[in-house]
Chain A
Amino acid sequence: MLNYIFKRLVWAVVTLWVVITITFLLMHSIPGNPFAKEGTMPEAVYNNLQQYYHLDEPLAVQYVIYLKQLAQFDFGPSLKSKTITVNDYIVNGFPVSLHLGIQALIIAVCFGLIFGVIASLNRNRWPDYLAMVLSIIGISVPSFILATFLINYVAVEWRLLPVATWESWSHTILPSISLAMMPMAYIARLMRSSMLEVLGQDYMYTAKAKGLSRHMVILQHAFRNALLPVVTVLGIITTNLVTGSFIIEKIFGIPGMGEMFVIGIFNRDYPVILGSTIFYAAILIFLVFLVDIAYTFIDPRIKITGEGE
């Protein structure tokens, strides 16, 4: 087990390094640079800025400087906002996005699984059709439409919940729901098809032939086995949720880190783009690792060993 974790750690570092290198090269291969747009800037100021941020050095040197900086867990300054660093962005924004993301994740997983199971048990009857129509709507309607819809009715017309900003827990409800809708719909569809597959297996007959009641058969024999495909996608879904959504955070005025990546690209703010990409990749790698561990608890055929395949 320890051996396995160590191997995964080494691979995680290698993967991250590849991500960093590719992002770094891609970012610099796009024409222009962070300060080029501002045409009114005097030549001397421009040169100073270039020099200050090492942008005048050869790419290889910049790359080495950046890696050295990263080794000290420093993502560097934001080129555009003079007062905050990329670390500030993450330290201030991530807790908020994480909070929102976890709430959305709980909603998405709980309701997604429930709807998926109900749909599969009522295959080709109205609960199935209803759940699947709702999930198609959930997948195809963009989150900002749902968000504005919720704000309009729940917050403005009925005055049940606050409209926006990030203050009390009741402020988190509407954005969490808006954020949860799409992954929930996706999980529901996945769980339905996975349950249908498991319910058609021979061992379901064995379980029933033992005299187990229907809910025992479903809970103890079908549900757990049907979870595996859902667990597989949970890594990427969770990463997307906890790293924040630009749209939802903008609509509800939430100070999360969702805007970081978008603004970074918009401003060609190299350290911000690199920082958010690396952060995203690190979280994804970590969660995929957790998913792999979770597999072994759900399916005993999957074993963790120190040996690589």
Chain B
Amino acid sequence: MSTIIEVKNLAVSFHTYGGEVQAVRGVSFSVPRGSTVAIVGESGCGKSVTAKAMMQLLSCPPAEYKGGEILFNGEDILQKTERQMERIRGNEMGMIFQDPMTSLNPTLTIGRQITEGMMKHRAFNGKEAKEEAIQLLHLVGIPQPEQRFDQYPHEFSGGMRQRVMIAISLACQPELLIADEPTTALDVTIQAQILQLLKKLQEEMGTSILLITHDLGVVAETCDYVVVMYAGVVVESGTAEEIFANAQHPYTKGLLQSIPRLDQQRAQALRPIIGSPPDLMDPSPGCPFYARCEQAMRICKNHHPTLEHVNGEHYSSCWLRHPMAQVVR
């Protein structure tokens, strides 16, 4: 299976009055064509920044791409000019954002917002675009698409708006869909519907999906691969099965213990991860999870662990994987 996008050692910083925030510090992962890859991590760990960087959506300044490459169909996105990016955005890559309440322009009809991209990338005239948009609305499960076409975002519920967002992002049938927490702002019942919709559309269109979430429950149902991020770095990655059955990194284990499970004893309480993520303004040279890790060792404080191979496609970045760790303990 070929990869559609490969992120190698991506580093992004923000220049703020307080200093340089190193939001992403060397992230690598790839999305195999036709698959769904999840990026998981608590909020503030750099997921959205990574996603926006993949479409060069960050405004520089304050952002700065400090290094790495993003190979999309073999070509580095970060080397592209704004002109070239305009042709890729929306056309070859689509993006869905977290909050459907604020991600649609309140003063334009949703029909207009869906057809805009088509008219630009696919050279449709107004009539063709409208027909296509109505079909899309139908496809994403919006009833009475003809009437809905001329309505404004405030006339839609949150779930319906997210469906509109999906229609917008799929308007030009992109090869890759980046969904940045598409269900976080929605009710639980609606969440499941939206995920099902994405899954269905993926099967119909063969789109590859990068699904960003902080909810491991979402991951289990929908994803083939999982990338666990913490404080701007990848701490563990592998197939979804491996990550759920055989998590290696203490942070991943912590995440898994903090979600409710059906096979859980009733008396057993959920275990949150104590503490909060480190300051990205001045990150320590050691493992970013050191301060919160129950199994921290002396080496973790000042030396960053390397990404160790676990098995198959499973990698974990933790000193516990080191052969010497067993001896030390």
Pick the contact of A299 from B91, B104, B107 — CB < 8 Å? B107
Residue B309 lies at the interface, judged by CB distance under 8 Å to chain A: no
| Residues of chain A within 8 A of B55, CB atoms compared | 209
| Residues of chain A within 8 A of B168, CB atoms compared | 206, 210
Would A300 and B87 be within 8 Å (CB), given that A202-B103, A206-B105 are in contact? no
Task: List A190-214 residues whose CB lies under 8 Å from chain B.
Answer: 201-203, 205-214
Q: List 24 A-B contacts (CB under 8 A).
A: A201-B102, A202-B97, A202-B103, A203-B105, A203-B106, A205-B97, A205-B103, A207-B116, A208-B89, A209-B90, A210-B168, A210-B171, A211-B85, A211-B90, A211-B120, A212-B90, A220-B116, A221-B105, A225-B105, A225-B107, A299-B107, A300-B152, A301-B106, A301-B107
| Residues of chain A within 8 A of B102, CB atoms compared | 201-203
In whole angstroms, what is the CA distance A206 to B90 when docked? 9
In whole angstroms, what is the CA distance A220 to B115 when docked? 13
- Evaluate contact between B57 and A209: CB separation under 8 angstroms: yes
- Interface SS of chain A: helix, strand, loop or mixed? helix
Shortest C-beta distance, A112 to chain B (Å), equals: 21
Contact with A along B68-98 (1 / 0, CB 8 A): 0000000000000010011111110011010
- Evaluate contact between B107 and A298: CB separation under 8 angstroms: yes
Residue B169 lies at the interface, judged by CB distance under 8 Å to chain A: yes
Shortest C-beta distance, B277 to chain A (Å), equals: 23
| Residues of chain B within 8 A of A225, CB atoms compared | 105-107
| Residues of chain A within 8 A of B99, CB atoms compared | 202
Residue A224 lies at the interface, judged by CB distance under 8 Å to chain B: yes
Residue B233 lies at the interface, judged by CB distance under 8 Å to chain A: no
A contact set with B: CB distance below 8 Å = 201-203, 205-214, 216, 220-221, 224-225, 298-301
Interface centre among A202, A210, A224, A300 (most CB of B within 10 A): A210
Pick the contact of A210 from B106, B107, B117, B152 — CB < 8 Å? B117
In whole angstroms, what is the CA distance A224 to B109 when docked? 14
- Evaluate contact between B103 and A301: CB separation under 8 angstroms: no
Shortest C-beta distance, A279 to chain B (Å), equals: 35
| Residues of chain B within 8 A of A206, CB atoms compared | 95, 97, 103-105, 113, 165, 168
Shortest C-beta distance, A192 to chain B (Å), equals: 17
Residue B292 lies at the interface, judged by CB distance under 8 Å to chain A: no
Contact with A along B215-235 (1 / 0, CB 8 A): 000000000000000000000
Residue B8 lies at the interface, judged by CB distance under 8 Å to chain A: no
